[in-house]
Amino acid sequence: MSVRRLAPPEVQPAEFVFTPENAAWASQQIAKYPEGRQASAVIPLLWRAQAQAGGWLPQRAIEHVAGILGMNYIRVLEIATFYTMFALEPVGRFFVQLCGTTHCMVCGAHDLREALRGFVGPERTVSADGNFSWLEVECLGACCNAPMVQINDDYYEDLTPEILINLLKDLAAGRPVKPGPQQGRHAAEPAGGKLTSLTDPSLYDGSVVGAWRARFAQKD
Amino acid sequence: MPKLIVDGKEIEVPPEYTILQACEAAGAEIPRFCYHERLSIAGNCRMCLVEVQGGPPKPVASCAMGVRDLRPGPNGEPPVVFTKSPMVKKAREGVMEFLLVNHPLDCPICDQGGECDLQDQAMAYGVDSSRFHENKRAVEDKYIGPLVRTSMNRCIHCTRCVRFTNEVAGVGDLGAIGRGEDMEITTYLEHAMGSELQGNVIDLCPVGALTSKPYAFKARPWELIKTESVDVMDAAGSAIRIDTRGREVMRILPVVNEDVNEEWISDKTRFIWDGLKTQRLDRPYVREDGRLRPASWSEAFALIAEKVKATQPSRIGAIAGDLNAVEEIFALRQLMQALGSPNLDCRQDGTQLNPAFGRGSYLFNATIAGVEDADAVLLIGSNPRREAPVLNARIRKRWLAGNLPVAYVGEAMDLTYRAEQLGAGAQTLVDLANGAHGFVEVLRQAQRPLIIIGQGALARADGAAVLAAATRLAVDVGAVGDDWNGLSILHTAAARVGALDVGFFPAGGGLTAQQMAAAGALDVVYLLGADEIEIAPGAFVIYQGSHGDSGAHRADVILPGAAYPEKSGTYLNTEGRVQVADRASFPPGDAREDWAIIRALSDVLGHRLGYDNLGALREALVTEVPHMADRNQIAAGALELPAIAAAIAQMGPAPFASPIVDFYLTNPIARASAVMAECSALARGAVAQAAE
C-alpha cells in the first residue's frame, strides 16, 4: 500500500458522463436500495465508471458518480482511494496485476516481475503502445496455482516468465488466449496429473480408524 | 438499570450508557482520543481499553461497548470492570507506543504543546521509550482553508474533525482518503472548508495536526491569562474564554455552556481578535474644516457641551449600536432623559419590535436549549446559519435526531439540514396565518412547534404586521402556551434585547433611529457604537465607539470607547438570558470604558449621573430593571397579544431576506479584521463559483 492520489491534471479528461446504457444500468443499481440509502450504490457505479473510462477513474468520473448519488465529492473520493480495485491513474489496454504475496513469491513471482519490467517497463507506467501497464498487488487468492497474474478481468495461473511474455504477445496481437492455468492442469487440481496424494491403501481399508485415539491412550 | 462494579465500586447506570460513561460515573478516569461526548462513536484510537469480567476475554474499547452487552457472573453477580489492572496498564502502554510510532517528537515547535491530549496522556499512560527504529511516516500538509493550519505528520487518525464537519457542522467537507497507515485527512482536492463552525475542529483535534492559522506560533498556553466572557458577534451570546498576554488578546476559545453554545463557537467569534488591534480609536478626535484632528478629552467634551447646550432637547437624539453592554446603554438613556430628549433608539436596522407588545414579543421564548424539545420548526425571514451559527447547529442536532419537519418563509438558503421553502415573502405568511397552507397542519399536529422570526422579516416597514401575522399563526397552532412558548425572535445584535429591556426606545413621541437619521430631523446625534446606520448630512454627530468604521467617518466628535473584551459588561442574548462578561484586557491609548465616558460627559453637560463606579451603576440598573441581577437566568416575558394583533396591516410584496449578507463582516470589529476579510473573499468566491 502506498499513498494513492488522483492522476495529474494533464492526463485527466475534461469531462465524464455515463453513456446512456451505463446511465440506465446505474439507475437500476440505485433502485435496489431503499429511499435515502442511494449512496449504497457507490461502489457498483464507480466500478462501471472505471470500465467506461478505460480501466481507471478520472476525477470527473468521481464527481459524476457523486452528483448522481447526491454525495459530497470527498465521500466518493474516500471510497475510490480506499479500494485498490479502483485505479486512479491511466492503465494500459491490458492491465496486469501481479500477485507478489507469499505463495506466488515462493513459486517465482520475482521472475515474473523482472519479465514484466523487461517487456512492459517500470511498474505503474503505461507502455509506449498503450497496450500494457502492470502493478504488483497483494494476494489475489489463487495460491494453489501460484504464481499468477490478473489481466483485466481474468486470472492467468501457473506462469513462468516465458509463458507470461507469450501470453502478453498474444494479447497484444489479438490472438485468442485461455484464462486459467497455463500448464495443462484443470483448475486447482494437483500438478502432475495425479488427482490425489493420498495413495496409501491403509487409508481406505479401515485399519487406521481409532489409531489416533489408541496412540493418545498409549501416551498416558 | 444495569449494575456493574468499576474498580470495586458498585454503581447503577442507565442502560444506554457505554462502559466509558459508566466508568466516568464511577469516578474512574479513562484516557481517550477519538471518543467525544458530542460526536458519534468511532472506537478507532483504542486508548480507552479496559478489562471486563463478563465481556470478551481481552481488553475492551470502553467507548464502543454498551453496559447492556456485559454479562453477569455465574451467580448473577454484576459485571466487573477494571480500569487500573495490569492488563489495562499494559494495553494502554501498547496503544500509546503504537500511536507514537508515527507521531513526530516535535512538541517544542508544536502549537498544541502544553495543551495537547497526546502529550498529557503519553505522560500519564505511556512508557518512556520506543522500540520503533524505522523511519516515521511523512504526510503532506493540506490546505483546508484560511483558518485551520494543518501539520499532518502529527495526525493520529482519530477522525474527530471528520465526524464534526459531517455531524455538527453538516457540510461534509473533510474526509479521510487512503487507508491504514496512509490514511490522510483532507478536503476534496484541498478546497477550503465551507462551514462557519470550522474553527471548532482546532479544539477537537487531540494533537497538533489542526491548529489555528492566525494564532500560529504566537503564544504558549501557559503564558496566557484566561478570562471568561460573552461573545457579542451574534445574539446567541456564546460563552467564550478570552486569552490575553499582557494587554493583547491572543485568542478566543469556547467555554461549555449547555444552555447556549454547548461547546461550539462560530468562526467570527473565534477569529475576530485580530480586528481588535486594527482601526482602533485610541484618542478623541474633533472635526475641523472637514477633517478630523486628534484632540484631548476636555476639548472634545467642551465641544459637545457647547453644541448640546445650544440645541433644543427635542433636536437631540441617541442611537445605540449592536455590540454595547447594557451598562453604557442604560447610562446613555439616563443622560438623554436628563437632557430632556425623547429621541432614543437601539434599533438601527429598523426592526419593528416594540416593548409595548410585551417583553415576550422580542425574546427567543423557546430558549436555545429548548430547540431540542421542538417537534416542528418554521423559520420566518431568518437564516440562522448566518445569524447565529450555534443555534443553527442546535436545530441541526434536533433534526438529526429525527422527525423534525423544518420549513421556512424567505429566500432560498442552505441550512445544512433539509428545510422546505414555503414561499419567499409576506403572502405565504398570510396564507399560513389564515390556515390556508398545508404546513399549518404540520404545526398543529406538533406538540411543541417552534416559530422563529428573524430580523429579515421584522426590519421592514411592515415588520409589525409581519409580527402580528406570525403571532396569530403561533397562537392558532398552539405554539404559545403555559408550558411551551414557541414564538421566538432571533436577533442579530448582541445588544438589542438588553437595550430594549432598559428602555432605550423612543417612548413618548420620540423619533426612531430611521427618523433620526433622516436629513433635517435632528441637530445633534449621539451614536453609541452605531455603525450600521447612515446619518444624513446636517446633524452634528458624536460617535462613541472602539473602531474607525462608518460611524467614526461621519462623526464630528469621536469619543474612543472600549471593545467588548476591554470592559466588564452585562449582555442579554436573544433568549433574554442575562450574562456578565469580565474584562480581559484594557482599551488602547486614551480610550476608556464606555459607561465611564458617558458618566464623565454627563458632568460636563451639567447633568451628573449618580454613580462613580461600575458597582453603583449596576445597583441603579438593577433597581430599575430587577431581572438584570439574575445572572444566567431568563426572566420570562409577557406577550401583549391584543397590542400585537392591532398592528395587523397590509404587507409589502418584497421577499424576506436575511439582514446578514456577508456573515464575516457584520460589525466594526469584523470589518477591521484581516482574517475575516479573507474568509469573506473566499466565501464570495465560492458563491460566485456556485452561480456559474
CATH number assigned to the domain comprising residue A71: 1.10.10.1590
* Residue A167 shares a structural domain with residue A111: yes
Q: Residue B182: list chain A partners with CB under 8 A.
A: 1-4
**Average pLDDT of span B497-511:** 91
Res. A82: pLDDT tops 90: yes
**Average pLDDT of span B310-327:** 95
Res. B514: pLDDT tops 90: yes
Tell me what pLDDT residue B56 has. Answer: 80
Condensed to tens digits (0 to 9), the pLDDT of residues A198-208 reads 888 888 888 88
CATH number at residue A171: 3.40.30.10
- What is the percent of chain B with per-residue pLDDT over 70, rounded to a whole number? 99
Tell me what pLDDT residue B2 has. Answer: 87
* Residue A178 shares a structural domain with residue A99: yes
Find out whether A99 is annotated in a ligand binding site. Answer: yes
Res. A1: pLDDT tops 60: no
By DSSP bridging, strand B524-528 and strand B540-545 are: parallel
Q: Is B13 helix (H, G, I), strand (E, B) or coil?
A: coil
Q: Residue A3: list chain B partners with CB under 8 A.
A: 178, 182, 184
What is the extent of the structural domain holding A151?
Answer: 94-182
Read off the C-alpha cell for B177.
Answer: 482518503
* Residue A101 shares a structural domain with residue A153: yes
Domain finish residue from A32, A56, A82? A82
Q: Which helix (H) or strand (E) holds B475?
A: helix B463-476
Domain finish residue from A59, A82, A105? A82
* Residue A100 shares a structural domain with residue A175: yes
Res. B293: pLDDT tops 60: yes
How far apart CA B75 and CA A59 sit, in angstroms, is: 61
* B-chain residue closest to A86, CA distance: B178
* Residue A98 shares a structural domain with residue A77: no
In total, chain A counts a number of residues equal to 220
Condensed to tens digits (0 to 9), the pLDDT of residues B108-120 reads 999 999 999 999 9
How would DSSP label each residue in B275-342? GGSSSB--S-EEEETTEEEE--HHHHHHHHHHHHHTS-GGGEEEEE-SS--HHHHHHHHHHHHHHT--
Res. B691: pLDDT tops 60: no
Tell me what pLDDT residue A208 has. Answer: 84
Domain finish residue from A23, A55, A82? A82
**Average pLDDT of span B341-346:** 94
A205 inside domain: no
Task: Please report which confidence band the pLDDT of residue B187 belongs to, taking 50, 70 and 90 as the band edges.
Answer: very high
A37 inside domain: yes
Tell me what pLDDT residue A220 has. Answer: 61
A67 inside domain: yes
Contact call for B177 and A78, based on CB within 8 A: yes
Inter-residue contact B536 to B522 (CB < 8 Å): no
Tell me what pLDDT residue B690 has. Answer: 59
Residue B179 C-alpha, separation from nearest chain A C-alpha, in angstroms: 6
* Residue A67 shares a structural domain with residue A133: no
**Average pLDDT of span B235-255:** 96
* Residue A101 shares a structural domain with residue A76: no
* Residue A47 shares a structural domain with residue A124: no
**Average pLDDT of span A43-65:** 96
- What is the percent of chain B with per-residue pLDDT over 90, rounded to a whole number? 90
* Residue A46 shares a structural domain with residue A125: no
A153 inside domain: yes
A38 inside domain: yes
**Average pLDDT of span B412-430:** 93
A189 inside domain: no
* B-chain residue closest to A72, CA distance: B172
How far apart CA B585 and CA B550 sit, in angstroms, is: 25
How far apart CA A58 and CA A89 sit, in angstroms, is: 7
A73 touches chain B (CB under 8 A): yes
A2 touches chain B (CB under 8 A): yes
Q: What is the mean pLDDT of chain B?
A: 94
A193 inside domain: no
Task: Please report which confidence band the pLDDT of residue A66 belongs to, taking 50, 70 and 90 as the band edges.
Answer: very high
Of the candidates B174, B179, B186, which has its C-beta nearest A82's C-beta? B179
* Residue A120 shares a structural domain with residue A46: no
A89 inside domain: no
* Residue A107 shares a structural domain with residue A169: yes
**Average pLDDT of span B431-460:** 94
Tell me what pLDDT residue B249 has. Answer: 96
B217 touches chain A (CB under 8 A): no
How far apart CA A106 and CA B205 sit, in angstroms, is: 45
Q: What is the mean pLDDT of chain A?
A: 92
* Residue A109 shares a structural domain with residue A75: no
Condensed to tens digits (0 to 9), the pLDDT of residues A141-168 reads 999 999 999 999 999 999 999 999 999 9
**Average pLDDT of span A22-50:** 95
Tell me what pLDDT residue B692 has. Answer: 53
Question: What would the 3-class secondary structure string for chain A be?
Answer: CCCCCCCCHHHCCCCCCCCHHHHHHHHHHHHCCCCCCHHHHHHHHHHHHHHHCCCCCCHHHHHHHHHHHCCCHHHHHHHHHHCCCCCCCCCCCEEEEEECCHHHHHHHHHHHHHHHHHHCCCCCCCCCCCCEEEEEECCCCCHHHCCCEEECCEEEECCCHHHHHHHHHHHHHCCCCCCEECCCCCCCCCCCCCCCCCCCHHHCCCCCCCHHHHHHHHHC
Inter-residue contact B162 to B151 (CB < 8 Å): no
Q: Residue A77: list chain B partners with CB under 8 A.
A: 175, 177, 188-189
The count of domains in chain A is 2
